[in-house]
């Protein structure tokens, strides 16, 4: 079995720490902190750029020696309000001290030094609809290619209503063949509402070389090294996920599974 499903390491502190090397790929890293008021964390970015996403709660943040003040106003991720986010370039550092219970995600990918420290949310982020019927979901585009804010990172939030599917029809972005497709590694950080729920995520290739179906719980992370990767949320449970993508080109071009492309054609 491929090691794609990552469970949190405890309930507090650094509960996820996934480097590109540890994941067995080249671009995406993901770290998640769950902090109590007064707890603090700090990191140097090294060769990576980072986007700090205040998933929940508030914290005083400093980046590159500059006090950015208190960030965050969403106390529960399922409020669906735009998150407060901060871009920090490679060769820099940042620190955060929680002022409330706080969930802080650190999205990482190779940096080139082209962008300064900058706040990239909540301004400029608006909840959008995507899909139809039970394929409807809601998107907070934090740093997709339409926002010129990063060298490598593509970051977005998705809210999938109970009983709906997401990242669907199944699609892949695992070939460096622009403009038809871009190679993008991807992580999914999942949350469920109510919290005791579960969702389903399948990661598979058309030739069957990779085919893993996982029950995901709140705080789990799923790695998508290649292949299609749809998600489903059972009746009664709303699903959230934070996507981090990166590859050699900061563009999102994908191809649907040919067996299910008819759904896309019907709905568009």
Render pLDDT for 83-136 as a digit per residue (tens, 0 to 9): 999 999 999 999 999 999 999 999 999 999 999 999 998 999 999 999 999 999
Whole-number pLDDT of residue 267: 85
| Domain spanning 5-267: CATH superfamily | Jelly Rolls (2.60.120.10)
Whole-number pLDDT of residue 197: 97
Whole-number pLDDT of residue 1: 47
Contacts of 159 (CB under 8 A, 6+ apart): 78, 80, 127, 137, 138, 139, 140, 238, 239, 240
Whole-number pLDDT of residue 268: 81
Residue located via tokens 């199944």: 170
- Taken as a whole, the chain contains a residue count of 268
- Stretch 198-211: mean pLDDT, rounded? 97
Residue 20: count of CB within 10 angstroms of its CB: 18
Whole-number pLDDT of residue 121: 85
Residue 21 has pLDDT above 50, yes or no: yes
Whole-number pLDDT of residue 167: 96
Residue 266 has pLDDT above 60, yes or no: yes
Residue 189 has pLDDT above 80, yes or no: yes
pLDDT tens digits, one per residue of 80-98: 999 999 999 999 999 999 9
pLDDT tens digits, one per residue of 133-186: 999 999 999 999 999 999 999 999 999 999 999 999 999 999 999 999 999 999
Read off the pLDDT band of 262 (50, 70, 90).
Answer: very high
Half-sphere exposure (Cβ direction) of 77: Cα atoms closer than 13 Å = 30
**Of the candidates 163, 169, 178, 181, the residue with the CA atom closest to the CA atom of residue 265:** 169
Residue located via tokens 């492309």: 261
- Domain ranges for the chain: 5-267
pLDDT more than 90, % of the chain: 97
Q: What is the model's pTM?
A: 0.97
- Stretch 58-74: mean pLDDT, rounded? 96
- Please give the mean pLDDT across all residues of the chain: 97
């Amino acid at each position: 079995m491929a090691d794609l499903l990552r469970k949190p390491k405890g309930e507090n502190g650094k509960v996820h720490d996934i480097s590109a090397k540890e994941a067995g790929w080249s671009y995406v890293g993901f770290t998640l902190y769950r902090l109590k008021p007064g707890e603090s964390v700090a990191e140097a970015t090294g060769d990576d750029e980072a986007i700090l996403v205040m998933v929940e709660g508030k914290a005083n943040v400093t980046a590159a020696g500059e006090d950015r003040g208190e960030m965050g106003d969403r106390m529960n991720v399922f409020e669906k309000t735009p998150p407060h986010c901060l871009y920090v370039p490679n060769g820099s550092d940042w620190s955060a001290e929680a002022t409330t219970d706080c969930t802080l995600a650190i999205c990482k990918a190779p940096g080139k030094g082209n962008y300064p420290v900058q706040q990239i949310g909540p301004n400029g982020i608006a909840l959008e609809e995507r899909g139809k019927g039970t394929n409807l979901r809601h998107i907070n585009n934090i740093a997709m290619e339409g926002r010129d804010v990063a060298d490598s990172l593509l970051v977005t939030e998705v809210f999938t209503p109970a009983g709906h599917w997401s990242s669907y029809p199944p699609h892949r972005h695992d070939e460096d063949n622009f403009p038809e497709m871009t190679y993008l590694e991807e992580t999914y950080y999942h949350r469920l509402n109510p919290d005791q729920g579960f969702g389903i995520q399948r990661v598979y290739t058309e030739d069957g070389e990779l085919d893993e179906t996982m029950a995901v719980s709140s705080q789990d992370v799923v790695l998508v090294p290649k292949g299609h990767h749809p998600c489903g949320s059972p009746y009664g449970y709303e699903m959230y996920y934070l996507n981090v993508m990166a590859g050699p080109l900061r563009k999102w071009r994908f191809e649907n599974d040919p067996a299910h492309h008819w759904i896309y054609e019907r709905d568009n």
